[in-house]
Amino acid sequence: MSSSSRETMLDPLKSWKFMIWPTIIFKPIDLFFFLLKSILAIFIVASFSLFLYSVFSSQPQQWLPSSTCNNQKFITPNNISTQTQEKTDLSHIQFGIGGSAKTWNNRRRYCELWWRPNVTRGFVWLDEKPQNYEKLPPNSPPYKISGDTSSFKYTSWYGSRSAVRMARIVKESFELGLENVRWFVMGDDDTVFFLENLVTVLNKYDHNQMYYIGGNSESVEQDVIHSYNMAYGGGGFAISYPLATELVRVLDGCINRYHSFYGSDQKVQGCMSEIGIPVTKELGFHQVDIRGNPYGLLAGHPLAPLVSLHHLDYVESIFPRMTQIESLKKLISAYEKDPSRALQHSFCYDLKRNWSISVSWGYTLQLYPSLVTAKILETPLLTFKSWRSWHNEPFTFNTRPIGDDTCQKPIVFWFDRVERVKDDWTLTSYTRHFEESEKDCDRQDYAPALAVRFFNVSSSKLNPSIWNMAPRRQCCEVIHDGNGADGQIQVKIRGCKRFESVTPP
Ligand SMILES: *[C@@H]1O[C@H](CO)[C@@H](O)[C@H](O)[C@H]1NC(C)=O
Ligand SMILES: *[C@@H]1O[C@H](CO)[C@@H](O)[C@H](O)[C@H]1NC(C)=O
Ligand SMILES: *[C@@H]1O[C@H](CO)[C@@H](O)[C@H](O)[C@H]1NC(C)=O
Ligand SMILES: *[C@@H]1O[C@H](CO)[C@@H](O)[C@H](O)[C@H]1NC(C)=O
C-alpha cells in the first residue's frame, strides 16, 4: 500500500472529529453525545492504527524459503523491498536440464554453447553417472543424479518412463535450496538458451507472483495431442519461486494422477491446472517441433526476443554447409554483439530499382527484385514440415509456400560476419551461397539483383528496454548502392520515423 492511499483513508476520520467539536458548549445531552462520540472515535482510531500496525509490521514472506526446510543453505532475505526492486539477472535463475547418461556426451555440446561456468547456476539431471565425466570441459553444466522414480505410475503406451524423472527435476532443484533463486528455468539437454534475452523476458514479470512462462509447439498436431495450455519442455519454461513453492507440494501426486500423459511438461502442466495458473506465452521460446529446413521459422521470427531453440538434431543445419554446432556458433557470434536484435526483422524498399529487402538480423537477408508487401515479407516461408506427420500444415502461425519457380523465390543472403563499429553500432554482412544444384532465375529483370554479391547492414545496439514497450518492427533504408557496380549494397536499420511505414508507392 502506498502512503498516499493511507492518507485518503484517514481523511474522513479527521473531518468527522472537526464536525463534532463545536457541539460541546451547549446542552448536557450534547455533552453526553459528545463523550459517546469521542470514545467511539478514539476506539475507531485506535483499532485502525492497530490494523495498520499489524499490516505493515508483519512479514509478507511466507513463500520464501523458511528455515524449517531441511537445508542450512536456505536464507531468508531480510530486506524484501530492495530485493524486489533489484532487476532480475542471471544469478537469480536456477536451471534444471533434463538429460540422460546415455545421450549426455552428444547433447552436452548444445548446453556447452550457452552454459557459463561460475555464472549460470543449476544442474543437468541424469539417470546415472555419465562416462568420462572427469574429462568434461569446464563449460559443461555440473550434473546431479535424479532420485529413484520406480514407485511412480506411468502408463503412456507411446512414451518413456523417463518423463517421470524429468517432471521431478523442478522439485529436486527446489529442494537443493540454493540461495536467492527467483526463477526455475527448465530445459532439455538439447535446448539452447539465449541468456541475455531470457533475463530480458523474465524481467517483464514480477518474480514475487506466480508465473509459468513458455511457449507452445509450432505443430498444431502436437498442440492438439499434448496441449495448447502448456509450456513445452524442450523450448524451456520458467517458473517463479512462489509458484515453485506451491508446485513442489503437489507434484508427486500429479505425476501419479496424470500417469497416462506422455511428457514431463504435460505432467507439470497438470499440476499448474490444479493450482490454477495458466501458461504465460512468450514468443521467443522455441520448441522447434518441425522437420526439414528451419530456415523459414528463423528468418520469420516474430517481434520478440529470441529466448531458446530446441530439437536442433532433428532439423537441417541452420546455415548451409556447416554442422549444426558450427551453425549455432555462427548465429551466437551475431547474437552476442546485439542480443535483443538477433533474428529481428526489418523491411525496406529500394525505390530506385523497385526492390524489396527483408533482413532477419544476424541470420539472413532476402532480396526480391519487385515490390513485395510487408504482410507477405513477415510471413515465414514454408521450408519445413510438421513434427509428427511431416505434413505442410498446419502450424500455429501462417506460412507462405515456396514454389519451384526460381523467379518467385527471394535471392537469399546468409549472415557472414559481424563487427562492432563503434560502441553502439554493429555492422553485419550477408553473402550469397551458391548451391550447385540450384539454378537462378534467368529472367532479364532478375539479372541486376543476381549481380549483388553482398549486403552490409549497420544498426545501433537495440536496448532491451524496448521489449517492455509496445512492440514495433524497426525500419531500414538503402543508404548507398554504387548502382550495384561493386556488387555490394549498404542498408541501415533504425527506429521508424513518425508516420513511416513499409508502403509501396
Ligand atoms: C533496506 O533497503 C533500503 C533501501 O536500499 C535501505 O535504506 C535499508 O537500510 C535496508 N534495510 C536493511 C535492514 O538492510
Ligand atoms: C569457478 O570457480 C572455481 C572455484 O571458485 C574455480 O576454481 C574455477 O577456476 C572457476 N572456473 C572458471 C571457469 O572461472
Ligand atoms: C517502380 O514501381 C512504381 C509503381 O509500380 C512505378 O511507377 C515505377 O515506374 C517503378 N520504377 C522503376 C524504376 O521500375
Ligand atoms: C562490407 O562487408 C564486407 C564483407 O564482409 C567487408 O569486406 C567490407 O569491409 C564491408 N564494407 C564496409 C563499408 O564496411
Per the DSSP assignment, residues forming a β-bridge with 417 are 429
Confidence of residue 72 (pLDDT cuts 50, 70, 90): very low
Q: How far is CA 460 from CA 48, 117, 162, 426, 495, in A?
A: 55, 30, 46, 6, 10
* Distance in Å, CA 49 to ligand 3 centroid: 76
| pLDDT at residue number 48 | 58
Tell me what the mean pLDDT of segment 244-252 comes to: 98
Using a 6 Å cutoff on CB, does residue 82 contact ligand 1? yes
Pocket test for ligand 4, best of 330, 429, 455 (most atoms within 8 A of CB): 429
The per-residue pLDDT for range 97-140, each reduced to its tens digit, is: 999 999 999 999 999 999 999 999 999 999 999 988 888 898 99
8 A C-beta contact, residue 380 and residue 300: yes
Mean of pLDDT values over 65-85:
46
pLDDT tens track for 321-333? 999 999 999 999 9
State phi, psi for 322 to the nearest 5 degrees.
Answer: -140, 155
**Identity at 88, one-letter amino acid code:** T
Residue 463: pLDDT over 50: yes
The whole-number pLDDT of residue 3 equals 36
Q: What is the mean pLDDT of the chain?
A: 87
CA-angle at 138, arms to 133 and 139, nearest 5°: 110
Of all protein residues, whose CA lies closest to atom 10 belonging to ligand 4? Answer: 456
Would you say the CB of residue 79 lies under 6 angstroms from ligand 1? Answer: yes
Write down the pLDDT at residue 185. Answer: 98
Write down the pLDDT at residue 445. Answer: 84
> 325 burial class (0-12, 13-18, 19+ CB within 10 angstroms)?
middle
Ligand 4 atom closest to Cα of 417? 5
Nearest-CA residue for atom 10 of ligand 2: 118
Q: Is the pLDDT score of 20 beyond 80?
A: no
Q: Which ligand is nearest to the CA of 371?
A: 3
pLDDT bin (cut points 50, 70, 90) of residue 42 is low
Q: How confident is the model at residue 76 (pLDDT cuts 50, 70, 90)?
A: very low
Reported confidence tier of residue 80, pLDDT bands at 50, 70, 90: low
- Specify the pLDDT at position 423: 82
Q: What is the CATH number of domain 90-287?
A: 3.90.550.50
Taking a C-beta distance cutoff of 8 angstroms, is the pair 205, 84 a contact? no
- Cβ of 85 less than 6 Å from ligand 1: no
Q: What is the mean pLDDT of residues 75-87?
A: 57
Q: Which atom of ligand 4 is nearest to the CA of 416?
A: 5
Find out whether the beta carbon of 503 lies less than 6 Å from any atom of ligand 3. no
pLDDT tens by residue, 185-198: 999 999 999 999 99
Q: Distance, CA 124 to ligand 2 centroid (Å)?
A: 18
Question: What count of residues does the chain have?
Answer: 505
Q: Is 427 in the pocket of ligand 4 (CB under 6 A)?
A: yes
pLDDT over 60 (residue 491): yes
pLDDT of amino acid 421: 86
- Give Cβ neighbours of residue 331 (< 8 Å, ≥ 6 apart): 318, 319, 342, 362, 363, 415
Ligand 2 pocket, CB under 6 A: 117-118, 138
Does residue 453 carry a pLDDT above 70?
Answer: yes
